[in-house]
Amino acid sequence: MTTDLSKYDASQLPSADVLGRQRYAIIVADWNSEITYALAQGALDTLVKHGVDEENIEIVHVPGTVELTYGAAKLMRHERWDGIIVIGCVIQGDTPHFDYVCQSVTQGVAMLNARGDSPVIFSVLTVLNKQQALDRAGGRLGNKGVEGAYTAMRMGNL
């Protein structure tokens, strides 16, 4: 069974009045940009669709997926965010590099969330091939960036 990642229950979100006053950050890895930029656009469009003022959304680019944790930590040190969405894409290759990158970003995001300053939403694709990434970046399985934005809005209003 496959699930369209872009389907969610909008009734679980706060009102546009509440969301319009909130601040969100999207940190996007430039590596695999064909995928990550589509995910970032999905996240941005979803936040705006539900009432987040575009002026209250900051988009930050980092070179790769490992750098997402540092980007989120740096943003959290300087300001309070209602949600931070980290977006990356790691495609498995022939070396263990895939495992190290996935483990690094997963542990980094978990550590930031444990601090409790701002929710950091994991919108990182860890896939076996490019087609799986395309399917999740606006393809047949929807857009994981949309799911990340939805999750950020829910977590930002606990």
Residue 8 lies in a domain: no
Residue 4 lies in a domain: no
**How many structural domains are present in the chain?**
1
Percentage of the chain with pLDDT > 90?
A: 86
Residue 119 lies in a domain: yes
Residue 12 lies in a domain: no
Taking the C-alpha atoms of 68, 73, 76 and 81 in order, what is their torsion angle to the nearest 10 degrees? Answer: 30
What pTM, to 2 d.p., does this model score?
0.95
- Give the pLDDT confidence score for residue 1 in this predicted structure: 52
Please tell me whether residue 64 adopts helix, strand or coil conformation. coil
Catalytic residues: 97
Residue 2 lies in a domain: no
Phi/psi zone of residue 116: left (φ > 0), alpha (ψ -120 to 50 degrees), beta?
A: left
The domain that contains 115 carries what CATH number? 3.40.50.960
Residue 27 lies in a domain: yes
Summarised one tens digit per residue, pLDDT across range 80-122 is 899 999 999 999 988 888 999 999 999 999 999 999 899 999 9
Residue 7 lies in a domain: no
What CA–CA distances, in Å, run from 5 to 33, 135, 139?
19, 10, 10
Burial of residue 90 (CB within 10 Å: 0-12, 13-18, 19+) is: buried
Domain that holds residue 136: 17-153
Residue 1 lies in a domain: no
